[in-house]
């Protein structure tokens, strides 16, 4: 594909066009991902997540400055709420990262959640892989900050940074909901505010009750991203975590597991979409749906029976295949 060749040769405009195609799930998307597959895996992925108002964007901005100062190229995927009018991201990359916008070694893409409840749109990993293939050294994925559900990041990032702040109210509830388990590094941002020490103490207390990882002890750092305080320490913590992952072989195992999960998710998505297209066309499915609606049968046990009916499944797959054949 000519556009992929241009992107791999360093054409940033081609990269932007490919990202748009992948983000929109264009018909060319599978071919694009197939062609870049063997050019990925070199970038290090950093996930930044946490509740709204914690200052994630400012933190990413300051961290990017340090990464660039170390000579590293950076790709940033900043996930924003979806605009109810355009369907796109509410905030734009120019607003978020003004100081890096003209830096040719930093590529920033704002993405809308598009209904995702896990903090990352389902196409975010594919977009990140394009940035990886393009040659970026570091990829930063910043989630939308939906509060207690942005857990998709653990299936994408090599190092996950969870950002909290004093006065957030739902900080500990957020951690109990799952962020506690996914954090490789905790950051209490806006640490100049009253109550920062208390948040740090609460996190450390909860960490003391969690199962210990003999190779990595989760640190709790304090930063003032707006004042550029504590960002160097965050960078060093990320580097330390990366070093341990690489030296123990955990990085490779973690990435392999994430790829398997991505395969399962992709199959689930494809099957779900294809099945939805058949729901109003297949007589058996229509009849089953009507019985479920009338309350004659329950959805769960019926689904189990369908999955056990190999003949019915083969019939549906055959119909799907015929419908996808070009006329």
pLDDT tens-place string over residues 89-134: 445 444 555 667 678 899 998 886 644 444 466 788 899 999 999 9
Q: What is the pLDDT along the chain (327 residues), one digit of tens a residue?
A: 899 999 999 999 999 999 999 988 898 999 999 999 999 999 999 999 888 888 898 999 999 999 999 999 999 998 865 443 344 444 544 455 566 767 889 999 888 664 444 446 678 889 999 999 999 999 999 987 654 445 677 788 999 999 999 976 555 555 555 667 788 999 999 999 998 999 899 888 888 877 666 789 999 999 999 999 999 999 999 999 999 999 999 999 999 999 998 898 888 877 777 777 777 777 878 888 889 999 999 988 988 888 787 777 777 777 666 665 554
CA distances in angstroms from 73 to 44, 148, 236, listed in the order given: 11, 31, 17
What tokens does 167 get?
A: 């006065």
pTM of the model: 0.83
> pLDDT tens-digit profile of 289-311?
889 999 999 988 988 888 787 77
C-alpha separations of 323 from 182, 239, 269, 312 in Å? 42, 50, 18, 17
Its sign, for the CA torsion 112, 115, 117, 122, is negative
H helix or E strand, kind and range, residue 22: helix 12-23
CATH number for the region 40-258 comes to 3.40.50.300
Cβ contact 136:72 at 8 Å: no
Q: Cα separation of 100 and 117, whole Å?
A: 29
For residue 44, the surrounding DSSP H or E stretch is strand 44-49
How far is Cα of residue 86 from the mean position of the Cα atoms in its chain? 22
Alpha helices (runs of H) in 138-282, residue ranges in sequence order: 171-174, 180-182, 196-208, 231-248, 250-278
| Mean confidence (pLDDT) of the chain | 82
Q: With beta carbons less than 8 A apart as the criterion, state whether 79 and 127 touch.
A: no
**Residue ranges covered by each domain of the chain:** 1-39, 40-258, 279-324
């Amino acid at each position: 594909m000519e556009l992929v060749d241009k992107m791999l040769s360093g054409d940033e405009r081609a990269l932007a066009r490919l990202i748009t195609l992948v983000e929109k799930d264009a018909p060319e998307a599978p071919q694009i991902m197939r062609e870049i597959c063997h050019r990925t895996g070199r970038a290090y992925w950093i996930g930044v997540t946490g509740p709204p108002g914690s200052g994630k964007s400012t933190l990413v901005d300051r961290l990017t400055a340090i990464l660039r100062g170390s000579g590293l190229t950076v790709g940033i995927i900043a996930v924003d709420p979806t605009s109810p009018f355009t369907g796109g991201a509410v905030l734009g990359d120019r607003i978020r990262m003004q100081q890096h916008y003209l830096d040719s070694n930093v590529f920033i893409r704002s993405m809308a959640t598009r209904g995702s409840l896990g903090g990352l749109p389902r196409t975010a990993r594919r977009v990140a892989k394009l940035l990886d293939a393009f040659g970026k050294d570091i990829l930063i994925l910043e989630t939308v900050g939906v509060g207690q559900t942005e857990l998709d990041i653990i299936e994408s990032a090599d190092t996950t940074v969870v950002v909290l702040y004093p006065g957030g109210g739902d900080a500990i509830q957020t951690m109990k909901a799952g962020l506690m388990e996914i954090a490789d590094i905790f950051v209490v941002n806006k640490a100049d505010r009253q109550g920062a020490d208390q948040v740090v103490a609460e996190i450390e207390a909860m960490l003391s009750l969690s199962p210990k990882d003999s190779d990595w002890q989760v640190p709790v750092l304090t930063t003032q991203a707006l004042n550029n305080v504590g960002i160097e320490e965050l960078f060093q913590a990320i580097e330390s975590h990366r070093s341990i992952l690489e030296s123990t072989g955990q990085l490779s195992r973690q990435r392999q597991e994430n790829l398997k999960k991505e395969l399962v998710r992709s199959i689930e998505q494809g099957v779900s979409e294809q099945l939805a297209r058949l729901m109003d066309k297949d007589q058996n499915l229509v009849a089953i749906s009507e019985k479920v609606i009338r309350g004659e049968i329950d959805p769960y046990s019926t689904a189990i029976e369908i999955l056990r009916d190999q003949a019915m499944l083969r019939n549906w797959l055959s119909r799907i295949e015929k419908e996808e054949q070009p006329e």
